[in-house]
Amino acid sequence: MRTALAATVVLAAGSVASATATMDVLSADRELFVIACGFDYEFNDCDGDIQSSQATSGFYDNQIIADLNDYYGNDISDADGMIYSNITDKRIELEYFGNASVTDTGILSADASVNGTTEVEFEVLDDVRVVFEGYAEGYVQSYFTAGASLREVGGPSIASFAVQGEGNNSTHYVGWLYAGTYEVNADFVVSAAAFMPSAGELSLSFRVYQKTDFNTDGTVNNADRGAFLAAYNIGSSDADYNGDGIVNLTDRRSFLSDWRAAKDSK
């Protein structure tokens, strides 16, 4: 598979070239669905809403609150969900927060949930260096699940993380994406029933850089050359520049040639 993790060696910077790399966002769907429901012999109702944005760029921030009361004003169930997000030609940023609870009113059945789904499909026309990192945590849970992934369309996952129940999980992936079509997906569910609350969060960040910006600091300079050679000299898969699964002289020659060209273009 044409992917490789990054070395973390950072050396002193010399001359600097501006690192420019972009992606073409083909489609995006950022959705938030919050609902609180209750059922009894004389009562059957829900409160909440589902809202989304299909914009392929820009901010989409939203909060939806569901507060269900019975005919007498007694609280039955509640849910509060939030999304903060931004898409540009260089990055995807996303956060979901949610909590849900059921209040004991003697009603026959009640539940509440916060559901978030984000799907972004994009194309890179040239090879790029990327960072994909994320975090998910369930604080208290009746039911909580969250996760996200980076994958080539029609292919296996390149990087992912997920958590179910109380606890947390994270990922920090640095590697190359080669010209093609990819997708970033995220799912988030906070659900409460039987008077047990649930709460949690999910965050992710995906960023693209020029392919020879090895340390992904936004500039191509001597630090990138040093970091790549440090990985190459120990035979690390981080230095598999052409993604053929083998670290050899071809990777070294190709990287240094592209690195020099990037520096000379400043």
* pLDDT reported for residue 108: 87
| Higher pLDDT pick, 58 / 103 | 58
- Whether residue 9 is contained in a domain is answered as no
Distance CA 198, CA 79 (A): 9
Same domain, 88 and 170: yes
pLDDT digits (tens, 9 = 90+) for 73-98: 889 999 999 999 999 999 999 999 99
Cα first-last separation, the chain: 32
- Whether residue 144 is contained in a domain is answered as yes
* pLDDT reported for residue 264: 63
pLDDT at 110 over 60: yes
Same domain, 152 and 228: no
Same domain, 170 and 246: no
Average pLDDT over residues 118-133: 97
Same domain, 168 and 252: no
Among residues 110, 95, 107, the alpha carbon closest in space to that of 35 is found at 110
Q: In whole angstroms, how far apart are CA 238 and each of 180, 230, 246? A: 20, 10, 10
How many percent of the chain have pLDDT more than 70?
92
> What tokens does 243 get?
């993604």
Average pLDDT over residues 13-38: 80
pLDDT bracket for residue 9 (50, 70, 90): very low
Same domain, 142 and 240: no
* Of the ranges 99-113, 132-146, 246-260, the best mean pLDDT one: 246-260
| Domain, as residue range, for 197 | 24-210
* pLDDT reported for residue 2: 36
pLDDT at 14 over 70: no
* pLDDT reported for residue 124: 96
Distance CA 167, CA 169 (A): 7
- Whether residue 3 is contained in a domain is answered as no
Taking the model in full, what pTM does it have? Answer: 0.88
pLDDT at 3 over 70: no
- Whether residue 205 is contained in a domain is answered as yes
Domain count, the chain: 2
Backbone φ and ψ of 127, nearest 5°: -60, 140
Distance CA 247, CA 234 (A): 10
pLDDT digits (tens, 9 = 90+) for 194-225: 778 999 999 999 999 999 999 999 999 999 99
- Whether residue 18 is contained in a domain is answered as no
**Run of H or E including 254:** helix 249-264
pLDDT bracket for residue 55 (50, 70, 90): very high
- Whether residue 258 is contained in a domain is answered as yes
- Whether residue 60 is contained in a domain is answered as yes
